[in-house]
Structure 1
Amino acid sequence: MRQEIAGIKIPDSQLAKDAADILREQENDLLWNHSNRVFLFGAVQGQQAAQPYDLELLYVSALFHDLGLTKEYSSPDLRFEVDGANAARSFLQQYQIPEESLNLVWDAIALHTTIGITEHKTPQVSLLYSAVGLDVMGDNFDQFPAEQRKEIVEAFPRNNFKQEIIPAFYEGFKHKPETTFGNIKADVISHYQPEYKHKNFCECIIHSPWSE
């Protein structure tokens, strides 16, 4: 892999290499390319805004953010985002990373699909969120430098990404649709299982055990 893409140096410490090896072993080209694009998009956005963040931790966050979609790291009852966050925390603990940094990585991954909140967190967390939004939904597409965007996509091609990412999401949590209650991934379950009935927030209130 090239050492620098779009003006961003790819972390090459042992920690970074080990993280990349885990991703390569567990994920296909779709998620490998997506995760690397997310890292680069986030790093460029951080550079643009002159925001303070740790490049290596952003790299690990990006590489692990969808790891919860894989069979190896998927739990039977947790949101896939939490599975990925837990995997990242366990991985980083092996390298004596400070607890504060572990918590930032955990938050970045666990909250990367949480609209309306994550963009207001610290740069270490919000950059991953904005980069995922750019790659998946085209958020702030026109605000991202076109030449750097082109270089990133050439290095990590999209290759029918629009058509393949939704079924990839579904495969990752179709065995636990209840974990999508209250979050945007409920739309993926509805797309493939229109007959599935999610819990309803209002019904949860009305049918709670409280007498009044």
Structure 2
Amino acid sequence: MTNFVADIKIPDSQLAREAAELLREHGDELLWNHSNRVFLFAAMKGNLNQIQYDSELLYISSLFHDIGLTPAYRSADKRFEVDGANAARDFLRSRGVPEDSVRLVWDAVALHTTIGIVEYKEAEAALMNFGVGYDVVGKNFDLISAEARQKVVEAFPRDRFKHDILHAFLEGFKHKPETTYGTINADVCEWLLPGYKRPNFCHQVLHSKWDE
């Protein structure tokens, strides 16, 4: 694997390599390339804004952020983000990583789709959310130069990413669509899951068991 992409060093500590091997084992090329792009775009944002961050923890968070979509880690009843966060927590604890770092990575993974909150968390969580938004929907697209984007995509190709990632999302939670309530993932179910009807919060309030 290339150590530097667009002047960003990809962490190569023992911990980082083991995390990468785990994603390689249980993910596919789509998730591998996406997760690495997320890290690179996140790191670029951090460097551009002169934000202090732990590159190793940012990288590991990026590698685990979608692993909850995979058959090895998807649960029957939890949000896929929580599945990924729990997998990251187990991985880090098994290697003796301090609890403060474990909690930071858990938050980064669990909250990475929680728009409006995660960007106010610690640097690693906020930056990874930026990387996810940048790679998935092109949020703040012009913040990173075309040259840097090209280098990232050459190293970790997109290959119809904008089409295939939606199906990858659905595959990860189509057996538990109720876990997408109140999140952007409900949009995926509404778009791709036959027969899915999005729950409505107002309906739930007005039809609760309260008698007034």
Matched letter for residue 130 of structure 1? F
1:166 equivalent to 2:181? Answer no
Q: CA deviation at 1:194?
A: 5.1
Between the aligned residues of both structures, percent identity stands at: 59
Partner of 1:196: 196
Partner of 1:102: 102
1:121 equivalent to 2:116? Answer no
User: Alpha-carbon deviations, 1:49-70, whole Å to 9, x = none?
Assistant: 1111110000100000000000
Q: CA deviation at 1:209?
A: 3.1
Partner of 1:69: 69
User: Alpha-carbon deviations, 1:121-163, whole Å to 9, x = none?
Assistant: 2211100001000000000111112222111110000011111
Unmatched 5+ stretches in structure 1: none
Partner of 1:211: 211
Equivalence map 1:37-186=2 (5 Å): 37-186=37-186
CA distance in 2, matches of 1:103, 1:199: 31
CA distance in 1, matches of 2:135, 2:166: 13
Matched letter for residue 207 of structure 1? H
Q: CA deviation at 1:192?
A: 1.5
CA distance in 2, matches of 1:77, 1:198: 17
Q: CA deviation at 1:164?
A: 0.7
Matched letter for residue 202 of structure 1? C
Q: CA deviation at 1:4?
A: 1.1
Matched letter for residue 41 of structure 1? F
Aligned residues: 212
- State whether residues 33 and 156 of structure 2, in contact with CA within 8 Å, keep that contact through their aligned partners in structure 1: yes
Q: CA deviation at 1:201?
A: 1.0
1:12 equivalent to 2:12? Answer yes
CA distance in 1, matches of 2:193, 2:150: 36
Matched letter for residue 15 of structure 2? L
CA distance in 1, matches of 2:187, 2:55: 32
TM-score with structure 1 setting the length? 0.96
Describe the SS at the equivalent of 2:208.
Answer: coil
Matched letter for residue 14 of structure 2? Q
Unmatched 5+ stretches in structure 2: none
**What RMSD in Å do the two structures reach over aligned CA positions?**
1.1
Matched letter for residue 141 of structure 2? F
TM-score with structure 2 setting the length? 0.96
- State whether residues 5 and 152 of structure 2, in contact with CA within 8 Å, keep that contact through their aligned partners in structure 1: yes
User: Alpha-carbon deviations, 1:174-198, whole Å to 9, x = none?
Assistant: 0000000000000100012353223
Q: CA deviation at 1:97?
A: 1.5
- State whether residues 174 and 193 of structure 2, in contact with CA within 8 Å, keep that contact through their aligned partners in structure 1: no
